[in-house]
Amino acid sequence: MIARTDYMIPTMVSIREASQRTGLTYILIKDLCDSGRIVYIRSGKKYLVNFDSLLRLLQQGEGGKKEHDRRSD
């Protein structure tokens, strides 16, 4: 008998599709992949971006905190 494991399959999209969905440039998204700031895999020469990872970065920003959590001086 095979044990059932519940897991979510991530939404993987090409850099071009991620660019169209978010309005970010192709080069910026590729740079985010290359720097390890978003999750991706490579299939040959093609990058497949974990779209949820990209959305989290956009929501949290570079510091990992939401905008309203930041203190202004």
How far is residue 2's CA from residue 14's CA, in Å, rounded to a whole number?
33
Q: Contact, 12 vs 41, CB < 8 A? A: yes
Residue 65: per-residue pLDDT: 52
Total domain count, the chain: 1
Residue 64 pLDDT greater than 80, yes or no: no
Residue 36 pLDDT greater than 60, yes or no: yes
Q: Report the DSSP beta bridge partners of residue 50.
A: 12
Q: What is the pTM of this model?
A: 0.74
17 is in which domain, residue-wise? Answer: 12-61
How far is residue 70's CA from residue 14's CA, in Å, rounded to a whole number?
32
